[in-house]
């Protein structure tokens, strides 16, 4: 019986984690949810493509994406956005967005950040997701197809 319960719990937790979406299959973020870094000169900026995973956990709530603390976009599951970020060192962040049950009570406690260096004319891909524990994950990725 204990093994059965353990198997059920493991299966349920594994089903809660999100999984990557191919960039070719990702839906574009609506223009009204892109707030900054929409345009830039390729000589002085790099392209940052952000893709949010698919999955049931927190799937109905948007996830906020930040560049140096500035809200750049809000993504729902399976969406992608391309941003033009000035060349140099930056802190990219992700956290809950929205109101009510989507606010996660204390947004700042759930934010995660990543230090990156953007090169002019380059393309960087960032993956947003949730692990089995419901913790936001932000990481660079080489996968996703296309540029």
Q: What is the 3-state secondary structure (H, E, C) of 38-103?
A: CCCCCCCEEEEEEEECECCCCCCCCEEEEECCEEEEEECCCEEEEEEEECEEEEEEEEECCCHHHH
pLDDT in tens, 13-62: 444 567 888 888 999 999 999 999 999 998 999 999 999 999 765 567 89
Q: What is the pLDDT of residue 16?
A: 56
- What residue spans define the domains of the chain? 2-140
Residue 92 has pLDDT above 50, yes or no: yes
Report how far apart, in Å, the C-alpha atoms of 114 and of each of 3, 6, 126, 132 are: 39, 34, 10, 20
What residues have CB less than 8 Å from 114, skipping those under 6 apart? 91, 92, 93, 126, 138, 139, 140
pLDDT in tens, 97-121: 877 667 666 666 678 999 999 999 9
């Amino acid at each position: 019986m204990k093994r059965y319960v353990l198997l059920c719990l493991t299966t349920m937790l594994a089903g809660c984690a999100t999984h990557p979406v191919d960039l070719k299959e990702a839906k574009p973020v609506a223009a009204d949810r892109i707030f900054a870094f929409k345009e830039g000169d390729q000589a002085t900026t790099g392209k940052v493509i952000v893709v949010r995973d698919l999955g049931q956990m927190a799937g109905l709530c948007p996830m906020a994406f930040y560049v140096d603390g500035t809200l750049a976009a809000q993504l729902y599951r399976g969406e992608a956005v391309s941003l033009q970020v000035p060349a140099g060192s930056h802190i990219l962040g992700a956290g809950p967005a929205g109101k009510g049950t989507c606010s996660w009570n204390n947004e700042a406690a759930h934010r995660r950040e990543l230090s990156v260096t953007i090169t002019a004319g380059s393309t960087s891909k960032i993956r947003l997701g949730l692990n089995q524990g419901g913790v936001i994950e932000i990481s660079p990725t080489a996968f996703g197809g296309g540029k």
